[in-house]
Structure 1
Amino acid sequence: MSWIDYAQGLLDKSWLGTLLGIAGIVFAVFTYLWTRRRTSLAYVYLGEHLLGSASDALPPEIVVQYDGMSIPRLTKSTLIFWNSGENTVSGEDIVDKDPLRFRVGDDGKILSISIVKSSRAVNDFSLRELPDHIFNEMGFTFDFLDANDGVVVEILHTSTDRRPSIKGTLKGLPKGFRNLGQFTRPKPQKKKQSTWSSFLWGLSPLVVGVGGFLAAVYGPRPALFLTNPDTGLFFYSFLGVFVGMWLNNRFWARRKYPKSLYTEALE
């Protein structure tokens, strides 16, 4: 049999066409994700009441002062802000009439705000008071932000709302800033696995998936699958769920913010 006849025989198999179609779709998706260019700024937050609570102020018997001023409660909000797109964002695109600013609840006042970590000093990220002296807002600016450039900001304030937000207008960003919600504290790092064990564990779902596909095409069909087709459907569905869970854990269940902004203060 010539190689042409062999190739023709392969193309006549229906499963090969299906496999090539799936491979083409996967390749197209990865190509799109690799080459796309977006302008996007995002943030996540974490808040906690250090003194007092969301519903009640401190008891009258307890007096807490900050810089000589009595406060009803003390709330700490940590906000991680970064360039979540691929395009560089310039500080020159900040609209003067609607400057960028961090904001806490209307019932609170910002006591102090500090930059805990910045991805790169060259971004020249800085805080500045607003001319109107709004108590629950603090302005900020930067020179530029490349992909994954950003800062970690810690805000001490008196608001009952632990969720900070970002306000303001930036040219080329009509939908504003993406609020990705509350982030979870990183878990303590376990003992590092060896390179080989990590490599084998990472490949295991792929091996199981490919092995299951080859077994379904070439392997003998168990009698149980022949007498009850639903059993085979359940088996391969379970296999697909296993591979999907691995992909989710591998690619999506990671920190939402860049690793360059990780700091021990977040633990």
Structure 2
Amino acid sequence: MSWIDYAQGLLDKSWLGTLLGIAGIVFAALTYLWTRRRTSLAYVHLGEHLLGSASDALPSEIVVQYNGISIPRLTKSLLIFWNNGENTVNGEDIIVKDPLRFHVGADGRILSVLILKASRAVNDFSVRPPPEGDIHEMDFTFNFLDANDGVVVEILHTSTDRKPSIKGTLKGLPQGFRNLGQFTRPKPQKNKSGKLSSLLWSMFPIVMAVGGFLVAIYAPLPSFLSSQDSGYFLYAFLGTFVGMWLNERFWRRRKYPKSLHTEALE
């Protein structure tokens, strides 16, 4: 049999056309992801009440002060803010009449804002000193943010709301800032064996999918899968399995750049 006859025999197989179609879709999706250019700023948050709670303030018998000011409760909120797109965002595009600012619940006041980590010092991310009196917003500025540049900010405040937000207007960003919700604290890796097991678990669905595909093509099928229509049952099963794995990996992924990870987030 010549190679031409062999190639024609492969092209006559229905599974090959399906495989080429899937490969084309995957290639098109990857090409889009590699070439897209977006302007996007995003943030995730995490908060907890250190003293008091959302429903009740501290008992009247307990007096807690911060810099000589009595407070009803103490709330700590962590916020990670970064350039989630591909285009550079310049600080000069911040609208003066509507500056960028961290916002907590209107029922509380901001006590302090601390930058725990910044991607690069050249970004010149800074928080302006708060004005006098009860405030629940704090302005911030930066020089520029390239892709994945950002900061990790700790906000101490007295609001019952543990979820801070970002307000303000920036040129070229009419949709505002993307709130990706609460992030999950990553589990610290204690040793190399943990990393190895994580790698093996990540590769397992891929190995299963490739192995199942080869078995479906070259191995004899059971009688209930011998027909052409029922033969696709195996593909559907493998597709569902891999899809569930990808969904689980997507929702458990770290939603912020690795460069912003710090021990304070664990």
Fold match by TM threshold 0.5: yes
Distance 1:123 1:86 in 2: 16
Shift of 1:133: 6.8
Shift of 1:241: 2.8
- Preserved contact between residue 189 and residue 195 of structure 2 (Cα < 8 Å): no
Q: Partner of 1:262 in structure 2?
A: 261
Instruction: For residues 73-112 of structure 1, give each alpha carbon's deviation from its aligned partner in whole angstroms, at most 9, with x where no partner exists.
Output: 1111110100111111110111111100001001110011
- Preserved contact between residue 128 and residue 138 of structure 2 (Cα < 8 Å): yes
Distance 1:65 1:132 in 2: 17
Q: Partner of 1:4 in structure 2?
A: 4
Q: Partner of 2:83 in structure 1?
A: 83
Query: CA 1:52/1:133 → structure 2, altered by over 3 Å: closer, same or farther?
Result: closer
| Larger CA deviation: 73-82 vs 204-213 | 204-213
Write the letter of the residue equivalent to 2:219. Answer: G
CA RMSD of aligned residues (A): 2.5
Tell me, yes or no, if structure 1 residue 153 matches structure 2 residue 163.
no
Distance 1:197 1:73 in 2: 42
Instruction: For residues 234-259 of structure 1, give each alpha carbon's deviation from its aligned partner in whole angstroms, at most 9, with x where no partner exists.
Output: x5444223322333455552210111
Give aligned-pair identity as a percent: 77
Instruction: For residues 2-52 of structure 1, give each alpha carbon's deviation from its aligned partner in whole angstroms, at most 9, with x where no partner exists.
Output: 222222222122211111111000110011111111111000111111111
Distance 1:163 1:241 in 2: 35
Tell me, yes or no, if structure 1 residue 186 matches structure 2 residue 186.
yes
Distance 1:38 1:117 in 2: 25
Tell me, yes or no, if structure 1 residue 213 matches structure 2 residue 213.
yes
Give the length in aligned residue pairs.
Answer: 265
Tell me, what secondary structure is at the counterpart of 1:159?
coil
Query: CA 1:119/1:132 → structure 2, altered by over 3 Å: closer, same or farther?
Result: same
Distance 1:27 1:164 in 2: 39
Query: CA 1:76/1:202 → structure 2, altered by over 3 Å: closer, same or farther?
Result: closer
- Preserved contact between residue 126 and residue 141 of structure 2 (Cα < 8 Å): yes
Counterparts of 1:7-86 in structure 2, within 5 Å, are 7-86=7-86
Shift of 1:195: 8.7
- Preserved contact between residue 118 and residue 260 of structure 2 (Cα < 8 Å): yes
Query: CA 1:3/1:199 → structure 2, altered by over 3 Å: closer, same or farther?
Result: farther
Distance 1:48 1:63 in 2: 20
| Larger CA deviation: 48-57 vs 196-205 | 196-205
Distance 1:28 1:127 in 2: 42
Tell me, what secondary structure is at the counterpart of 1:193?
helix
Tell me, what secondary structure is at the counterpart of 1:189?
coil
TM-score, scaled relative to structure 1: 0.90
Tell me, what secondary structure is at the counterpart of 1:44?
strand
Q: Partner of 2:243 in structure 1?
A: 244
Query: CA 1:107/1:200 → structure 2, altered by over 3 Å: closer, same or farther?
Result: closer
Shift of 1:131: 6.9
Distance 1:50 1:197 in 2: 35
Q: Which runs of 5+ in 1 are unaligned?
A: none
TM-score, scaled relative to structure 2: 0.91
Q: Partner of 1:123 in structure 2?
A: 123
